Amino acid sequence: MDFHYFLALPVPAEAGETIAQWKQKAKSSLSFKKWVHKNDYHITLFFLGAASQEAVDGVSHAIRRQSREFPRFSLKAGKTGFFGRPEAPKILWAGVEGPQVLQQLQSRVSETCGSFGFSKETRPYHPHITIARKWQGNDSFPSRIETVPPLKSMKWTVEEVVLYRTHWHTEPKYEAVEKFPLADDIGK
């Protein structure tokens, strides 16, 4: 079976439930082809894609050591946005705000994965939680999003980085393969 892997920050169940409740209200107004299952919400740090077990093991070993160099930190989410053309976006997301340590962690993870031969992302890092994919509405997205109440603000502490594996034909589709704890102290 051809698995794809990625490294991400998990979204806790309480925040996932808040997004799922908003999603239920939004679905009546917003016509996306695919809505993400509430147990699949995450904040991607690096997408590995299809990879050999040897490469995944190498990345895991390196991230296990490095994660302890970063303190736990707080994240805030709640503002919705999109990627793609305004009239027909590819991705609907909840934006994420965090301290500088989030950018530093993502940069280190990216460098580490690059050292194992994985292609680095060339676009600037924009942390987000994907809620839906592929607009298919007849109306333009901006006119429809105006009819949806705003997503409630959420805040939580990030305690770990997770290596996920994708199962293409199940829901939820992401399986946590390994967890890499951050340091016990809290960063600002």
So which residues are the catalytic ones?
42, 128
**Which residues, listed in sequence order, are joined to residue 74 by a DSSP beta bridge?**
157
Strand stretches in 21-98, DSSP E: 32-35, 42-50, 71-85, 88-97
How far apart are alpha carbons 29 and 10 in whole angstroms? 28
DSSP class of 121: P
Report the candidate in 80, 124, 129 with the shortest Cα–Cα distance to residue 106.
Answer: 124
Torsion angle in degrees (nearest 10) through CA of 127, 128, 133, 134: -60
Give the dihedral of Cα atoms 31, 32, 33, 37; nearest 10 deg.
-120
How long, in residues, is the chain?
188
